[in-house]
Amino acid sequence: MINRQKLFSTIATISAFTLNLPAMEFDFRPLASLCRVEVNLATGFGSGAIRGTFGQMDGKMNFSPEYPENSSGKIVLNSRSLRFGYPIVAYETHIPEWLHSSRHPVISFTLEKLQDFAWHKKELRTDAFGVLQIKGIEKSLRIPLSIRYFRGQRRKYEGKAGDLIRLEGMLVLPRSQFGLAPGKFMEIVREDITVRMSITGASNRVRPFLPSRLFGG
């Protein structure tokens, strides 16, 4: 009877501590070398696709393994840092008819909530709902995400204490909805643009080791 009381007391203590544990804040800037946001343009010539990447990004995310539904955050891309392997494409990407990056230097996604969770061992699959802004045009959308949490692994890359979180996802954007109209060359680009991302954020502290599906608990 006494042992059972101790067990219930321990569970209650852990539960209370978990409820009061603040969400971890993850910064995407420190490990930018591990982040990749890729843009794929479908075309009617050559290999049928042109691939580009953003060279600069910033942002933060608040995430709690115990309560992922309370997550929030924002990712900001430097639109002027988008580069393609073809010089003419790299140039026309930034003209007024397309990104007009001189007037609209950032692209942002503001995370409002995570929803519909499915665990696959230590991977959390979920849908991220938020607002994407391109050229000053805002659209609410859903991004399917894969989330992995690496406790104490920041030291492996930077020699600093902290956890890592890795987000991977893909979405398809109708370019006309964001004012991305044809230029002289871009008129051969098709309507849907595929964006793939793999980004890693770092926290400034190590999360207490509590029972969680992220750690097999």
Residue reference for tokens 């343009």: 41
Determine the pLDDT at residue 66: 80
Give the residue carrying structure tokens 């665990």.
119
Q: Provide the phi-psi class of 65: left if phi over 0, else alpha when psi is between -120 and 50, else beta.
A: alpha
Q: Which tokens hold the place of 113?
A: 């909530």
List, run by run, the mean pLDDT of 10-residue segments along the chain (217 residues).
Answer: 51 43 87 94 75 94 89 96 87 91 96 91 92 96 95 93 96 91 71 95 86 52
For residue 201, list its beta bridge partners.
Answer: 165
**Sequence ranges of the domains in the chain:** 23-215
pTM of the model: 0.83
| Spatial contact of 58 and 29, defined as CB atoms under 8 Å apart | yes
The answer to whether the CB of 39 falls within 8 A of the CB of 82 is yes
Which residue spans within 93-151 are E strands per DSSP? 106-120, 123-134, 137-150
Residues in Cβ contact with 9 at an 8 Å cutoff, skipping those fewer than 6 apart:
none
- Do the beta carbons of residue 54 and residue 32 sit within 8 Å? no
Q: May I ask the CATH architecture of the domain 23-215?
A: Beta Barrel (2.40)
